[in-house]
Structure 1
Amino acid sequence: MGTTRQHRDYGFFGPDSVTWKVWLYPTSAALGFIRAVVVEELDPHLVASVDQSGQVKRRPKLRYDRTMQYFATVKFGDAESVLRASDVLFTIHARAVGDDPVTGGRYDANAPASQLWIHLTAWHSILYTYEIFGPGRLSEAEEKQYWEECARAAEFQTIDPADVPRTREGIRAYFEAYRPMLVGSEVAQDMMDFLLDGSSHVLPAAVPGPVRWLLNGVARRAVIATLPRWMRELGAIQQSPVTDRVATALTAPVFRLISLSPRVKLLALRALSPGTAPVLEPVLRGTPPVNPVVREIAEARAARGGSTPRAQYAELGEAAATRADRTPSTS
C-alpha cells in the first residue's frame, strides 16, 4: 500500500473544525455535492456558462473529480495547496465569460455574486444532506462555527466574506432574496435532469449495469427528496411525498454504515474521485501533518506572496475600464 503522504500543515480548518466534521461525512461526496450542482443550474448565468462550455456533459466524471478535488483541498489540504488551488480556479474562471441567452445579460464566472451563489449552495447542501441522511442537526454553537468557517472559505474566491450569512436564518433570507433571479429554462431543466443522474456518470465502468441502475435510482430520489416544492416546479421535477420518505429511509442507514469505516470511505472515494483521494487519505488514516497547526489566511498568503482573488478580480475590472477609456471613439 505504501506510506500515506503527509500534508505540510492542517491548512485553514483542522480536526477541531465543524467543517471537518460535516464535510468528512460520506453524504458530502455523493448526495450533498449532487444536490448543490443541481440547484446551481437554476441560476441563468451559471447554466449558460455550463451549457456553452459543454464540459459537464462531455466529461462528467472528470468534471466531478476536479470539482470534488478543489472542495476537498480547501477544507482538508495544507495551506500551500489551498492557495495554489485558489489561484488555479481564478484563472480557469477568468475564461468563463459570455452572453446569457435567457436573460440577455452577460455571465462572468468570477463575478462575486455568482461565486457567492455557488459557495452558499454548496455549503448549505452539504450541511442539509448531513442533517437528513446523517447524524442530524448540529448544536447551536456548532452551527454558528460552521457558517463562520463558510465565510473563511469564501476568502479563496472573489467573495467578500462580509456577504456570507452567519446564521441559518441568514442563509434562508439569502436564498429567498435570490429566488426571483432563478429561471427554470429548458436548458436548466435538462441540465438538472442530467446531474440528478450523477451517480451513473461517475461510477466506475466495472460496476454492473443493474447495480449502477439501482444506486443511481436511489441517489436520484434521495436528492430530489431534499428539494423544496417550488424548486422542483422550476426544474420540472416530479416525485411524490411517499417516494421522498422511502428514499430517505433507504439511504440514511447506508451512509451511517459507511461512516463507521474510514477504509470503506477511502475505497469509495478512490472509485468515485481519484483526484480527491490523495487529499483526504491522510485525514481518513489519521496521519498528522508535518507541522500540526491551523494556519491564518492572511499570514499564509503574505508568506507566499500574491493578492487575494477578490483583489485580482478588482484589478482586472480596473484594467478593462482603462482599456475602454483609451479606445478611440468611432462615433
Structure 2
Amino acid sequence: MRGEQTGRTPRVPVTALFPPPPSAGVPGDPGVCPGEQFRRVTAERVTVLGGPAAILLQIAHPLVAEGVAVHSRYAEGPARRLVGTLQAALTVTFGDTGQAHAAARHVGRAHAPVRGTTRTAVPGTPAGTPYRANDPDLALWVHATLVWTARRVTERYAGVRLTPAERERHWQESKPFARMFAVPDRVLPQTAADFDAYVRTTLAGLVVTDDARRIAHDILTQRTTPPLPGAAAAARAVTADLLPSPLAAAYGIPRTPARRAAARALRTATTTVRPALPQRVALWPHALVAARRGPHDLRAALSTA
C-alpha cells in the first residue's frame, strides 16, 4: 500500500517550500485574476500553513481520494507535490496572462488521465462509481477548499479579518481562477453566502476513507533536510485547528489540549509578528513581481499589507 512507503519517503529541502516567482512578464499585463481582494488574501505567505488542510478537505471527498490514491504518488514525495500545486496556484493568480495559461495547461495535462471507477463502496458512493479529475463538480470542490482554507488561514494566522463585503469580493474575484481549472460558471455559487452554504452542505457529506487517511499520513509526516524539529507536530496542530472538528477526528488528528495549545501559540506568534514584517518576508514574491508589473491597483492593495 502507498501508506506503507512512508519510511522511504525522500527528504525535501526546506528551500523547496519557498518557490521562486516567475519572470517579470509583460509590463502592464494584469493577468487573469486581477481582483485586488482575492490577490490580497492569496499574497500572504502564511497561507502555506493551510496547504495540508486544503488537501485533506479535498480527499475527504471519496471520488477525489480515489483519483489521488490510484493515479497520484503522494507517498513518494508529498511535500514536492504540494509545492508544485502551490507554484501553479501562485502563477495563475499573479502571473501575466501567458504565464497563467501555461501553468493552468500544465495542471490540465497532469489531470487529463485521472479517471476511472471506485474500487470499493463507501457511504453514499457505491463501488463502480465513475470519476474524472476534470468533472465540474469535483473541480468546484477542489477550488472551494482552496478559497475556504486561504480565507480561514489569513483570518486566523495573519489577523486579516474580512468584512462581509470583502468576503463577497474575495469570492467573486476567485471565479476567474476557478475557470482556469475547469470549473464552469454553471456550477459556481453566485454569492459568498451561496458559497458558504455549498461548503456546509458538502462538508456534511464527506467521508474519510482508508485511502484518504494514508494520503493524509504521508502529507503530515513529510521529512525535510535539514530536519525541522517539531515541524510535523506543528503541521498536525495547525491542520486540526483549520479543519472542522469531525474531519480532524476522522483523520486521527483530533483537537487534543496539546494541539489546541500549539495552534493557539502559533496564532499568537504569527498575528503579533505579522505587522512588523517587511513585504518581502510576509508576502509571496509572486505578488510583489505582479505589483511591479502593474497596473497600480495591486500595488496600492499590497501597500496596506
Identity of aligned residues (%): 22
Q: What's 2:243 paired with?
A: 227
Q: Distance in 2 between matches of 1:120 and 1:256?
A: 29
Cα contact 1:86–1:156 (8 A) shared by 2:
yes
Report the number of matched residues: 268
Quick one: which of 108, 115, 137 aligns to 1:113? 137
Cα contact 2:171–2:191 (8 A) shared by 1:
yes
Q: What's 2:280 paired with?
A: 263
Q: Compute the displacement of 1:182 (Å).
A: 1.9
Q: What's 1:11 paired with?
A: 31
Cα contact 2:249–2:255 (8 A) shared by 1:
no
Q: Compute the displacement of 1:40 (Å).
A: 1.1
Code of the residue aligned with 1:282 in structure 2: it is V
Quick one: which of 127, 139, 142 aligns to 2:166? 142
Quick one: which of 281, 285, 289 aligns to 1:282? 289
Code of the residue aligned with 1:157 in structure 2: it is F
Q: Cα distance 1:45–1:220, how it changes in 2: closer, same or farther (>3 A)?
A: same
Q: Deviations over 1:155-196 (max 9, x none)?
A: 112212242234443233212322354222111122223223
Q: Compute the displacement of 1:134 (Å).
A: 1.3
Cα contact 2:38–2:171 (8 A) shared by 1:
no
Q: Compute the displacement of 1:69 (Å).
A: 1.2
Give the secondary structure class of the aligned counterpart of 1:98. Answer: strand
Q: Distance in 1 between matches of 2:76 and 2:288?
A: 29
Residue 25 (str. 1) matches residue 44 (str. 2): yes
1:31-46 correspondence runs (5 A): 31-46=49-64
Cα contact 1:47–1:187 (8 A) shared by 2:
yes
Q: Compute the displacement of 1:133 (Å).
A: 1.0
Q: What's 2:302 paired with?
A: none
Structure 1 unaligned segments of length 5 or more: list them.
Answer: 270-276, 295-331
RMSD of aligned C-alpha atoms? 2.6
Q: Compute the displacement of 1:122 (Å).
A: 0.7
Cα contact 1:133–1:248 (8 A) shared by 2:
no
Residue 160 (str. 1) matches residue 184 (str. 2): yes
Code of the residue aligned with 2:273 in structure 1: it is L
Q: Cα distance 1:217–1:255, how it changes in 2: closer, same or farther (>3 A)?
A: farther
Residue 186 (str. 1) matches residue 205 (str. 2): no
**Worse-superposed segment, 71-80 or 152-161:** 152-161
Cα contact 1:44–1:102 (8 A) shared by 2:
no
Q: Deviations over 1:64-86 (max 9, x none)?
A: 22211110011101011112222
Q: Cα distance 1:21–1:188, how it changes in 2: closer, same or farther (>3 A)?
A: same
1:93-112 correspondence runs (5 A): 93-103=111-121, 104=127, 105-112=129-136
1:171-250 correspondence runs (5 A): 171-179=195-203, 181-197=205-221, 200-201=222-223, 203=224, 205=225, 207=226, 209=227, 212-241=228-257, 243-250=259-266
Q: What's 1:300 paired with?
A: none
Q: Compute the displacement of 1:37 (Å).
A: 0.6
Q: Compute the displacement of 1:280 (Å).
A: 4.7
Q: What's 1:67 paired with?
A: 85
Give the secondary structure class of the aligned counterpart of 2:255. Answer: coil
Moved over 6 A (4+): 291-294
Quick one: which of 253, 262, 267 aligns to 2:269? 253
Q: Compute the displacement of 1:100 (Å).
A: 1.6
Q: Distance in 1 between matches of 2:146 and 2:31?
A: 20
Q: Distance in 2 between matches of 1:194 and 1:24?
A: 27
Q: Cα distance 1:220–1:91, how it changes in 2: closer, same or farther (>3 A)?
A: same
Q: Compute the displacement of 1:218 (Å).
A: 1.8
Q: Distance in 2 between matches of 1:83 and 1:292?
A: 22
Q: Distance in 1 between matches of 2:100 and 2:92?
A: 5
Code of the residue aligned with 1:287 in structure 2: it is R
Cα contact 1:26–1:258 (8 A) shared by 2:
no
Q: Deviations over 1:230-271 (max 9, x none)?
A: 2123323322256324412324423653572233357xx7xx
Q: Cα distance 1:25–1:166, how it changes in 2: closer, same or farther (>3 A)?
A: farther
Code of the residue aligned with 2:44 in structure 1: it is Y
